[in-house]
Chains A and B, each alone.
Chain A
Amino acid sequence: MSDVQERIKQTVELNNIVLFMKGSPQFPQCGFSGRAVQLLQACGVEFASVDVLSDPEVREGIKQYSNWPTIPQLYVNGQFFGGSDIMMEMYESGELRQALQGETV
């Protein structure tokens, strides 16, 4: 496993909920990342975030990590949970809130 893959693995394993996104939760740099932040905030959970724009290695590496070509990406308990479309669908069905309940950073 390359350094960046190892770094990503540690990040998702150390944080119960972590969002890889463009920009920060305060200043998202992409509409999809902004939407993902809003959904997590609507669920009332705290989460860690990684700004891929400030780390080109992670920006590319995260796409390989879960064979997922887009950002944002949500990880819960070390597992890839989905991108913003899946987060939205699961929010609407109540599954997102349910899955995140009891999880904190």
Chain B
Amino acid sequence: MVTPQQIKQWIETALPGSEVEIDGDGRHFQAIISYGEFAGKTRIQQHQMVYDALGDKMKAEIHALSLRTLVPGQGGRQS
């Protein structure tokens, strides 16, 4: 079973410098990801960067993952 800690590590490895807060029960996870490279990107692009970081794991190990993406120091208001 996938642990929140594993997902945190996968994301932080693929997006160096990102900070990930994550919670979950092995099937459903919620992640808040703060990452400087999100700056200037749309929410869709930010989420795609996270999905790309997880790659095939999104199809297999991770049943459901809620994302909230933030740019450090800018709160959540990127559109």
**Residues of A at under 8 Å CB distance from B?**
31-32, 67-70, 80, 82-86, 89-90, 93, 95
- Which of B65, B67, B68, B77 is the one whose CB lies under 8 Å from A93? B77
| Contact A89:B76 (CB < 8 A) given known A67-B48, A80-B44, A82-B43 | yes
Inside 8 A of A67's CB, which chain B residues have their CB?
48
A95 touches B64 (CB 8 A): no
CA distance in complex: A71, B8 (Å)? 22
Given A69-B51, A70-B58, A82-B43, A95-B79 contact (CB < 8 Å) = yes
CB-CB under 8 A from B68, the residues of chain A are 85, 89
Top 3 closest pairs, chain A to chain B, by CB: A69-B58, A86-B43, A85-B67
A64 CB to nearest B CB, Å:
12
Residues of B near A83 (CB, < 8 A) are: 47
Interface residues of chain B, those whose CB is within 8 Å of chain A, are 43-44, 47-48, 51, 58-59, 64-68, 76-77, 79
- What are 7 pairs between A and B in contact, CB < 8 Å? A70-B58, A80-B44, A82-B44, A85-B67, A85-B68, A86-B43, A89-B43
* B64 touches which of A32, A68, A82, A86 (Cβ 8 Å): A32
**How distant is the Cα of A5 from the Cα of B77 in the complex, in angstroms?**
32
In the complex, residue of chain A having the shortest beta-carbon distance to the beta carbon of B44: A82
Chain B residues lying within 8 Å of A85, measured Cβ to Cβ, are 47, 66-68
Q: Which residue of B lies closest to A30 (CB)?
A: B64
Question: Taking the nearest CB of chain A, how far is it from the CB of B45, in angstroms?
Answer: 10
A80–B77 CA distance with the chains assembled, in angstroms = 19
| B58, A68: Cβ atoms closer than 8 Å | no
Contacts of B47 in A (CB 8 A): 68, 82-83, 85-86
B-side contacts of A90, CB under 8 Å: 43
